[in-house]
Amino acid sequence: MTNFDERAKDWDADPMKVERARIVAAAIRSALPLGPFDKLRATPGTCALEYGCGTGLLGFALQPYLASVTLADTSQGMLDVLAGKIKAAGAANMHPLRLDLCADPLPAARYHVIYSLMTLHHIPDTAGILQKFHAVLEPGGWLALADLDREDGSFHGPEVTDVHHGFERTELQSLAESAGFGGVTFTTVYEIPKAGRRYPVFLMTARKGT
Ligand SMILES: C[S@@+](CC[C@H](N)C(=O)[O-])C[C@H]1O[C@@H](n2cnc3c(N)ncnc32)[C@H](O)[C@@H]1O
């Protein structure tokens, strides 16, 4: 496993990661029915779970459009950096949570939206995590997953052996449908430049039936 605890403090210093999160946030906003959250409205607004949030680059870009967002990660280092940023920004609707849906009991809360960026390929059991996402979504809730298209293993290099080498879209769609999702759609939202190559990133959106 990549040591995300060690990498957390320098994570936001990479302009590509900042740009990637900004562009993926714009794609999620245009694909999902998120509106600006008006704190004066009586309606509760959209409650979201970000899974594998890292330092919250994507979460900060989306939080103005969410009533509340729980930002979950397994790396305490990432969560510590995130907590400092939330405190500095006074972002009262952002809630960090140490959570591993692969091992921990399901949280009691249910969400209108679950979204994730570059985390799915770190989770061994893709079918299993999609089932967990389905279970913690409200009926009619939206899933938005951004990750690598299938690549040859060069993205992480031969020394990293515990990751998926991206995903075949048709295979991921089948797994999502088997987990109970419908309306599965893919778009290419970004290309990660690395060592003279470019690695496409898809956004898959899907919906839990009502
Ligand atoms: C490549 S980083 C992406 C971070 C962030 N989404 C971004 O784009 O800047 C992957 C993140 O997934 C987290 N992660 C890995 N396995 C996880 C799991 N089983 N559950 C939750 N988070 C996990 C890591 O700690 C790390 O923060």
- pLDDT tens digit string along 26-77? 999 999 988 665 555 545 689 999 999 999 999 999 999 999 999 999 999 9
- pLDDT at position 94: 97
pLDDT for 45 = 85
What is the radius of gyration, based on Cα positions, of the chain?
16
This prediction's pTM: 0.96
**CA-based torsion, 54, 56, 57, 62: positive or negative:** positive
193 lies in which domain range?
4-208
Q: Note the pLDDT tens digit of each residue in 126-181.
A: 999 999 999 999 999 999 999 999 999 999 999 999 999 999 999 999 999 999 99
pLDDT for position 34: 80
Q: How far is the CA of 103 from the centre of ligand 1 (A)?
A: 15
Q: Which of 74, 76, 116 has the most ligand 1 atoms within 8 A of CB, as the residue to mutate?
A: 74
Binding-site residues, ligand 1, Cβ < 6 A: 4, 17, 21, 51-54, 57-58, 72-75, 78, 100, 102, 117-119, 122-123
CA 86, chain centre distance (Å) = 18
Q: What is the CATH number of the domain that holds 142?
A: 3.40.50.150
From the list 54, 61, 71, 63, the residue with the least C-alpha distance to 93 is: 63
If one counts the domains in the chain, the total is: 1
**Beta-bridge partner residues of 142:** 113, 207
Instruction: Give, rounded to a whole angstrom, the gap between the first and last alpha carbons of the chain.
Output: 37
Is pLDDT at 190 greater than 80 in this prediction? yes
Average pLDDT estimate for 78-101: 98
